[in-house]
A and B are shown apart, each in its own frame.
Chain A
């Protein structure tokens, strides 16, 4: 019973945060609401006994990615909103039915399968020691590949974000 209430609370926080992040006009508010949605998801991971992933979600999403998004918002247009410009794309009315159709298909197929109503049998815990051993033995090649990918992606982000030298010279007084 308590488990149900906790799940419903976390789900409500996540869904309200996600809807607000997609609906609000001020981009800084949107970024903060997205961080709230990510935090609600982290709470759901904790409730599902995945402690390591829950804390990784808080560190990476609520910590790093939300700050990155706020930086991008402030570097592009900032929190100032011109009331004359629309915040939705000209074909915005296509987004809602497409999203509703996808949700209807997914929920319909979930409801149609009675096996998904099952409850877990035993208590599960995934200690960090076990996760680390698994990462260092069975998943060591994917781990190295992800390290290489992250290095390449972040170097690429720096190169893309660099100001071109010729343009900065012509802009200099």
Chain B
């Protein structure tokens, strides 16, 4: 282990920025969900890196948090994709800027 902690944190920051930029810039609802997943994964990488470099890694707290976070991310993406499919059935499109019925 010669890679310092900062390298992992920088990788996580870059991953978060890519996911954020993609989620803000793309029109497709599915791609926005992929961007959200990338941001969640960046947070998970931070947890694992801080766990590995912590003074008491035998407590396994960061690891446990990532396990629960992955489970919640799976639930979130299943619900999100079901919503995308339900909206597609009504509006015949998955482009986000076409979902403007509630716009004043």
Contacts and interface: CB of A to CB of B under 8 A. Distances in A.
A34 B38 contact: yes
Nearest to A20: B18
A72 B84 contact: yes
B28 A87 contact: yes
Contact of A68 (B9, B64, B77): B77
B15 A18 contact: yes
A160 B16 contact: no
Query: Which secondary structure characterizes the binding site on chain B?
Result: helix
Contacts of A119: 1-2, 4-5, 53
A75 interface: yes
26 contacts: A4-B3, A22-B21, A27-B30, A27-B31, A30-B34, A31-B30, A48-B48, A48-B49, A50-B52, A53-B44, A53-B66, A56-B70, A65-B37, A73-B30, A85-B95, A86-B27, A92-B25, A103-B16, A110-B13, A131-B63, A131-B64, A135-B64, A150-B71, A156-B79, A160-B82, A161-B86
